[in-house]
Amino acid sequence: MNFAVLLAKGKFVDELAGFRREDGPRKEFVEIATALNADVSSYTSAAARRGSWFTRIFQSRPAWGSAADMALRIGRYKRVYVTGEEVGFRLALFLALRFSRERIVCVVHNFTPMWSRVLRVMGHRPFAALITVCSTQRQALIDAGIPPDKVINVANWIDDKYFSPTFSADGKSFVASGAENRDYATLEKAAAQVESDVFVFGHGFHVSGIAGEAADRNRPKNYHLMPRVPFDELRRYYAEARAIVVPVNDVSYAAGVTGLVEAMAMGKPVIVSRSRGISDYLDGPLGYVVDVADPQGLAKAMRETEQRADLKQIGERNREWAVQNCSLDGYVARIADIMRK
Q: Tell me, yes or no, whether 207 lies in a domain.
A: yes
Whole-number pLDDT of residue 170: 72
Does residue 170 sit in the same domain as residue 76? no
Q: Is 288 left (phi over 0), alpha (psi -120 to 50) or beta?
A: beta
* The one-letter amino acid at 137: Q
Single residue among 153, 186, 220 that ends a domain in this structure:
153
Does residue 48 sit in the same domain as residue 123? yes
d(CA 202, CA 325): 26
Does residue 146 sit in the same domain as residue 176? no
Tell me how crowded residue 166 is: count the other CB atoms within 10 A of its CB.
10
Q: Tell me, yes or no, whether 341 lies in a domain.
A: no
CA 252 to chain centre: 14
CA 165 to chain centre: 21
Q: Tell me, yes or no, whether 266 lies in a domain.
A: yes
Q: Tell me, yes or no, whether 337 lies in a domain.
A: no
User: Nearest 5 degrees, angle CA 154-CA 158-CA 160?
Assistant: 125
User: Please, where are the H alpha helices in 151-256?
Assistant: 184-191, 231-239
Q: Tell me, yes or no, whether 214 lies in a domain.
A: yes
Single residue among 91, 121, 153 that ends a domain in this structure:
153
d(CA 106, CA 4): 12
Does residue 87 sit in the same domain as residue 235? no
Question: Which of 100, 98, 122, 115 lies closest to 8, judged by CA?
Answer: 115
Whole-number pLDDT of residue 167: 67
Question: Which of 28, 39, 36 lies closest to 5, judged by CA?
Answer: 39
Does residue 187 sit in the same domain as residue 122? no
Contact 274, 166 (CB under 8 A): no
Does residue 130 sit in the same domain as residue 199? no
What CATH number does residue 89 fall under? 3.40.50
- Give whole-number Cα distances, 123 to 91, 127, 327, in Å: 13, 9, 32
Whole-number pLDDT of residue 100: 83
**Going edge to edge, which strands form the sheet with 198-201?**
223-225, 198-201, 173-177, 241-246, 270-273, 287-290
d(CA 267, CA 167): 10
Does residue 51 sit in the same domain as residue 199? no
Whole-number pLDDT of residue 210: 59
CA 54 to chain centre: 29
Q: Tell me, yes or no, whether 158 lies in a domain.
A: no
| Mean pLDDT, the chain, integer | 91
Whole-number pLDDT of residue 193: 98
Single residue among 123, 153, 183 that ends a domain in this structure:
153
Does residue 148 sit in the same domain as residue 204? no
What CATH number does residue 208 fall under? 3.40.50.2000
**Going edge to edge, which strands form the sheet with 79-82?**
39-41, 3-6, 79-82, 104-107, 127-132, 151-153
Q: Tell me, yes or no, whether 333 lies in a domain.
A: no
Does residue 11 sit in the same domain as residue 141? yes
> How many domains does the structure of the chain reveal?
2
Q: Tell me, yes or no, whether 336 lies in a domain.
A: no
- Give whole-number Cα distances, 103 to 29, 42, 126, 151, in Å: 17, 17, 6, 14
Range of the domain at 231: 165-326
> Per DSSP, which regions of 48-172 are E strands?
79-82, 104-107, 127-132, 151-153
C-alpha distance across the termini of the chain, in Å = 11
d(CA 227, CA 229): 6
Whole-number pLDDT of residue 203: 86
Whole-number pLDDT of residue 211: 46
Residue ranges, the chain, pLDDT below 50: 15-18, 211-212, 214
Does residue 213 sit in the same domain as residue 132? no
d(CA 100, CA 96): 6
* b/e map 186-205, b = 16+ CB within 10 Å: bbbbbbeebebbbbbbbbbe
Does residue 116 sit in the same domain as residue 149? yes
Does residue 141 sit in the same domain as residue 171? no
Whole-number pLDDT of residue 245: 99
